[in-house]
Amino acid sequence: MSAVYSADRFSELFESLRQGHAAGRLAHAYLVIGAPRGNALALSEALLQLLFCTGDPRPCGECAECRRVREHVHPDILWIEPESKSRRIKIDRIRDDLIPRLAQSSYGGGWKAGVLVQADRLTEDAANAFLKMLEEPPGSSLILLLTDTPQNLLPTIVSRCHRLLLAAEEPGRAEPWRAPLMEVLRKDLAADSLEALAQASRMKAILDTIRKAAEKEQEQEQEDERGPEVVKDVFEARVKTRVLEARAGIVRCLMEWRRDVLLTVLGMGPEELHYPDEGEFIRRQAAGLEYGRALRRFQAVEILHRQLERNVPDELAFENAWLVD
């Protein structure tokens, strides 16, 4: 998942969207991962032109509809960007603009769309309001979330969106936890409580490794700075931030993995998966699961996320994520 994608990736994704649209199989929500004012914006505009274009072949790029999309003045598309001062997307934009707008019928009698440019800038209450709508999206509506830092979005939002990956994820930062986590996920078939305990302690070990690495990194930084020694509180706060970031990334991966298994149980093909490279393991896990259990296993990760937010101890919360009937 760390490859840097080229222009080919853009054409490939657009072609799959074009086919999806032709077959009437577009998703309700897409997470467009790339530069929010570069390739992610371009792909979003191309997709919206595809929806609204009246030319032939679609999108023609020349008709009035295509032009309105490009100039961001189309009456059936609401563009939402972070406020210039706070650099955040606040709840009133979601509650007072986006939700009512998508609930209304469209001007043109067809699609209506909402685009969040830099969706990672949603405030916490805005994200929660948005999530509620995403759980029951209005009909004939399309939601696009543009971001270059998907790790800053709620995992519950990410898991409900179809992902269009234009850029390497989490650029500039190595993720030392990813390889050991993948090892755990490939064995993600907790048959009994003993195995659940074992999986939870494997997760704990990964988190401990992250903490040690973060402490070392901070010590190193202090030495390099040669400035006044960072006070203990600041040191610990920085380490904690790194651990929490990594933990959020781990929960997101677990959620994506179980979503992949759930989709496979439902008969979706590898092109729908977050981890197509892991298809063999995912298929093997899906083969042993009935739908209800696969769904509960997925939901258990949403519960895990909420428990961690409420400061339930890591190991206990992770254990619950594996103790699913």
**Interface residues toward Zn ion, by CB under 5 A:** 53, 55, 59-60, 63, 66
Q: Which two tokens stand for residue 30?
A: 């897409």
CB of 89 to Zn ion, least distance (A): 29
Q: Which is nearer to Zn ion, 55 or 180 (CB)?
A: 55
CB of 265 to Zn ion, least distance (A): 39
Alpha helices in the chain (DSSP H): 7-22, 39-52, 64-70, 91-92, 99-103, 124-135, 155-158, 178-186, 193-225, 232-265, 279-287, 291-309, 314-322
CB of 49 to Zn ion, least distance (A): 6
Q: Which is nearer to Zn ion, 46 or 117 (CB)?
A: 46
Q: Which is nearer to Zn ion, 56 or 135 (CB)?
A: 56
Q: Which is nearer to Zn ion, 58 or 160 (CB)?
A: 58
Q: Which is nearer to Zn ion, 58 or 297 (CB)?
A: 58
- Which positions ≥6 away from 308 have C-beta within 8 Å? 247, 251, 314, 317
CB of 26 to Zn ion, least distance (A): 17
Convert 106-123 to b/e letters by CB count within 10 Å (16 or more is b): beeeebbbbbbbbbbbbb
The C-alpha angle with vertex 78 and arms to 108 and 59, in degrees rounded to 5, equals: 55
d(CA 134, CA 156): 10
CB of 61 to Zn ion, least distance (A): 6
